Copies of this chain bind each other. A is one copy, B any other.
Amino acid sequence: MKIALAQLNYHVGNFEQNTNKIIQSIRKAKQSGCDLIVFSELAICGYPPRDFLEFADFIDRCYQSASEIALECHQIAAILGMPVKNNLGKGKALFNSAAFLCDGKIQSFHNKSLLPNYDIFDEYRYFEPDYNSQILEYKGHRIALTICEDLWNIGEEQLYPYSPMETLIVQQPDLMINIAASPFNVNQAETRKQILKKNVEKYRMPLFYVNHAGAQTELIFDGGSMALNANGEIVSELNYFEEDFRIVDTNNLLVSKTEAIISSRTERIHDALVLGIKDYFSKLGFTKAILGLSGGIDSAVVLVIAARALGCENVKALLLPSEFSSQHSIDDAVKLAENLGVSYEIIKIENVFAGFGETLSPFFKDMPFDVTEENLQARIRAVLLMAFSNKFGNVLLNTSNKSEVAVGYGTLYGDMCGGLSVIGDLYKTQVYELAHFINKDAEIIPLNSIIKPPSAELRPDQKDSDSLPEYEILDAILYNYIELRKGPRELLSMGFDEAVVSKTLRLVNMNEYKRHQTAPILRISSKAFGMGRRMPIVGKYLS
Contact = CB atoms under 8 A, between A and B. Distances in A.
A501 B58 CA distance: 16
Interface in A359-394: 359-360, 363-364, 367, 370-372, 375-376, 379-380, 382-384, 386-388, 390-391
Contacts of A88: 161
A483 to B, nearest CB: 11
A495 to B, nearest CB: 17
B375 A390 contact: yes
A540 interface: yes
A91 B379 contact: no
Contacts of A517: 517-519
A370 B354 CA distance: 26
B383 A376 contact: yes
Contacts of A520: 516, 537
Nearest to A282: B538
Contacts of A347: 359, 363
Contacts of A57: 487-490
B384 A356 contact: yes
B417 A413 contact: yes
Interface stretch (A8-16, A229-237, A452-460): A8-16
Contact of A541 (B52, B161, B419): B52
Interface string A460-498: 000000000000000000000000010111100000000
Interface stretch (A116-124, A133-141, A265-273, A440-448): A116-124
A55 B533 CA distance: 12
A11 B488 CA distance: 20
Interface in A485-543: 485, 487-490, 513, 516-520, 531, 533-543
A284 interface: yes
B124 A49 contact: no
Contacts of A531: 534
A104 to B, nearest CB: 26
A49 B360 CA distance: 40
Nearest to A517: B517
- Most interface-central of A14, A359, A542 (chain B CB within 10 A): A359
A339 to B, nearest CB: 23
A356 B352 contact: yes
A356 B387 contact: yes
A410 to B, nearest CB: 14
A198 interface: no
B379 A13 contact: no
Given A51-B534, A413-B413, A419-B513, A283 B488 contact: no
Contacts of A519: 516-517
Given A125-B118, A383-B376, A485-B55, A345 B359 contact: no
- Most interface-central of A157, A345, A412, A518 (chain B CB within 10 A): A412
A429 interface: no
Interface in A103-137: 117-118, 122, 124-125
Contacts of A540: 11-14, 17, 283
Contacts of A352: 352, 355-356, 359
Interface string A337-354: 000000001011101101
Given A359-B351, A413-B413, A50 B12 contact: no
Contacts of A539: 11-14, 46, 49-50, 52
Contacts of A538: 11-12, 215-217, 279-280, 283-284
Given A358-B351, A539-B52, A376 B370 contact: no
A263 interface: no
Contacts of A535: 50-52
Contacts of A359: 347-349, 351-352, 384
A487 B55 contact: yes
A228 B349 CA distance: 66
A391 B367 contact: yes
List of 3 A-B pairs having minimum Cβ-Cβ separation, nearest first: A57-B487, A13-B541, A355-B355
8 contacts: A50-B534, A52-B541, A54-B485, A55-B487, A216-B538, A217-B537, A351-B355, A375-B386
